[in-house]
Amino acid sequence: MGACCNGDVSSLPHSYDAVSARDLRPSKHVHDNLHGNIYLDNLSLKFIDTEQFQRQVRDFVFFVQLLRELKQLGLANMVYPGAVHSRFEHSLGVYWLAGQSIEMLKNFQGLELGINRFDMQTVKLAGLLHDIGHGPFSHLFEREFLPKVTNGSQWSHEQMSVNMVDYIVNEHHIDVDPEMIKRVKEMILASSEFTLPRSSTEKGFLYDIVANGRNGIDVDKFDYIARDCRACGLGCNFEFQRLLETMRVLDDEICYRAKEYLSIHKLFSTRADLYRTVYTHPKVKAIELMVVDALVQANDYLEISSHILNPSEYWKFCNEYAVPKDMVENFKKVTAQDIVCSQKSGGGTLREEDVAVSNVKIDLTRGKHNPLESINFFKDYDSDEKFTISNDRVSHLLPTTYQDMIVRVYAKKPELVEAISDAFENFQLKTYGIKAQVHSTPEKKKCRYTACI
């Protein structure tokens, strides 16, 4: 990383003086099991060495775990014991890959693009701080718990990351250029708010690196896909290094060499596989639903109990089905009320509070669309023309649809597993006219009072 200190000094922003070669010079390194040695610059260390980045704190009126104690995959380690890596490691990994990305672009197009030390430091800080706003239990806190207790108000870990950046700077009096922090926050929000006005309309390609709202290819995915596959013992045939080495900026947008379209397809397909087999594993979701109930009950005090994962109280997985592909687009989420109302005549024993439903969507980041449709490629380094690649040029083996919707139903009481399974089957018959269950519920699952892991 030493070469990053030799930046071009032409066309520097007014705030460039705040970024000296000393700021970017590596002063410490840590050894990461994915990337090897990660070299940390002085300014980034000022953020890393805060209690907010290092360990549990209480801030912003709720309990936040940052970042060493916050597992990257939430409760997935209950099924995949190796999935105990934290967002601390992931954040360092994204910091490193963000630095590698912009250094690659600087080495090959630095003069053309006007990349300077200010840009390099900004992108690296955005990578380092992009996940600092996550709450306890990872995405569960944001997607499952908060909607139940906030009456529909919008909250995102990206926005909380932005709030946390400001808090850390003010709390620890970190000497950092305000313009740099402004752009760091914009880059953190880029994945969800790509169309928002930015402080600078120049160098828009910088916003493609950490959280890419343009087409979904960013170093955040590069790191978590490779890291999560390794932690869970799954194979990963996606090689992010190939994309880092061949990317190029055309018309202020990061584009990729056409030869790498299959590498990009592997990126999205591997991510979809992780969603299917790890992130939304039915047993993982069962444990998450139980934890959400505990969090809701504790909401008045916002205390996270270390004893909530009692194996004798795990919810039981009843069954699941995949929504027929011709009905996915207009799919309406299944609720506990839907299942209760589908009891067979004469039943009438189930209540909504006995049933939990998980509606799981798995796609390739672009909903019903092929993600390659929004990615621009170039033929070779002598060409300035960018173009998209149509489906028929990629492979005739591509799927005809790019998203799945899976409905899973759980019983909160083991003695109700059979009744809920029957009601779920009846719901499918009423809704689709078919018996669409993928699994049958074994007899031993209907009466066993232990965790189904």
The residues that are catalytic are 157
Here the tokens at position 400 are 């005809």
> At residue 370, what are phi and psi to the nearest 5 degrees?
-70, 120
**CB neighbours of residue 224 within 10 Å:** 20
- Please give the order of strands across the beta sheet that includes 248-250: 248-250, 253-257, 377-378, 386-387
Coil, strand or helix at 26? strand
Structural contact between residues 136 and 65, judged by C-beta atoms closer than 8 angstroms: yes
Structural contact between residues 284 and 76, judged by C-beta atoms closer than 8 angstroms: yes
Q: How far is CA 21 from CA 156, 176, 239, 361, 366, in A?
A: 35, 14, 32, 46, 40
Structural contact between residues 98 and 41, judged by C-beta atoms closer than 8 angstroms: no
Q: Which of 33, 39, 122 is nearest to 72 (CA)?
A: 33
Residues contacting 408, CB < 8 A, separation 6+: 282, 285, 317, 318, 319, 320, 357, 358, 360
443-446: Cβ within 8 A, 24+ apart:
445/316, 445/317, 445/417, 446/414, 446/417, 446/418, 446/421
DSSP summary character for residue 6: S
Euclidean distance between CA atoms 71 and 89, whole angstroms: 10
Beta strand 248-250 with 253-257 is antiparallel
Q: Measured between alpha carbons, how far apart are the two ends of the chain, in Å?
A: 44
Helix (H) or strand (E) holding 41: strand 36-41
Enumerate the β-bridge partners of residue 377. Answer: 256, 387
Beta strand 36-41 with 355-363 is unpaired
**CB neighbours of residue 169 within 10 Å:** 18
